[in-house]
Chain A
Amino acid sequence: MIKKADIILLIIILAVGIPLSVLSLSAGTSGDRVRISLNGKVYGTYPLDEDRVVKVSAGGHTNHITIKDGQVSMSYSTCRNQVCVNTGAISKTKDSIVCLPNRVVVEIISHGSGKSGAGGDADVISG
Chain B
Amino acid sequence: MSSQADTRGRRTSRNTRRLAFGAMFTALALIFSYVEFLIPLPVPVPGIKLGLANLVIIIAIYRMGFKYAFTINCVRIVASGLLFSGVFGMLYSFAGGILSLLVMYGLYRTKLFSMVGVSMAGGVIHNLGQLITACLMVSSIRLMSYFAVLLFSGLISGILIGILAYHIEKRLPSDIR
Q: Which of A11-43 contact B (CB under 8 A)?
A: 13, 17, 20-22, 24-25, 37, 39-40
State which of A6, A80, A124 has its C-beta within 8 Å of the C-beta of B117: A6
Which residues, 58 to 96 on A, are CB-close (under 8 Å) to B? 80-81, 83, 86-88, 94-96
Interface set, chain B 117-142, CB cutoff 8 A to A: 117, 120-121, 124, 134, 137-142
| Cross-chain contact B144 with A24 (CB below 8 angstroms) | yes
Identify B145's interface contact among A1, A13, A24, A122, CB under 8 A: A24
Contact A3 B114 (CB under 8 A): yes
Q: How far is the CB of B146 from chain A (nearest CB, A)?
A: 8
Nearest-neighbor residue (CB-CB) of B151 within chain A: A17
With A5-B113, A24-B147, A100-B134 already in contact, the answer to whether A13 and B44 are too (CB < 8 A) is no
* A37-B138 in contact (CB<8A): yes
Question: How near does chain A come to B158, taking the closest CB pair, in angstroms?
Answer: 10
Name the residue of chain A whose CB is nearest to the CB of B139: A40
Provide the residues of chain A in CB contact with B152, threshold 8 Å: 17, 21
Any chain A CB within 8 A of the CB of B90?
A: no
Interface size on A, residues (CB 8 A): 37
Which one of A21, A40, A107 lies within 8 Å of B148 (CB-CB)?
A: A21
Q: How large is the interface on B (under 10, 10 to 19, 20 to 34, 35 or more residues)?
A: 20 to 34
Q: Which residues of chain A have C-beta atoms less than 8 A from B113's C-beta?
A: 3, 5-6, 9
A25: chain B residues within 8 A (beta carbon): 145, 148
Q: List 26 A-B contacts (CB under 8 A).
A: A2-B116, A2-B117, A3-B114, A9-B107, A9-B113, A10-B117, A17-B155, A20-B147, A20-B151, A21-B151, A24-B147, A24-B148, A37-B138, A39-B139, A80-B86, A81-B46, A88-B44, A96-B142, A96-B145, A98-B134, A98-B138, A100-B46, A103-B137, A103-B138, A105-B142, A122-B141
Interface residues in chain B, defined as those with a beta carbon under 8 Å from any beta carbon in chain A: 44-46, 86, 88, 107, 112-117, 120-121, 124, 134, 137-145, 147-148, 151-152, 155, 163, 166
Q: Chain A: residues with CB nearer than 8 A to chain B? A: 1-3, 5-6, 9-10, 13, 17, 20-22, 24-25, 37, 39-40, 80-81, 83, 86-88, 94-96, 98, 100-101, 103, 105, 107, 118, 121-122, 124-125
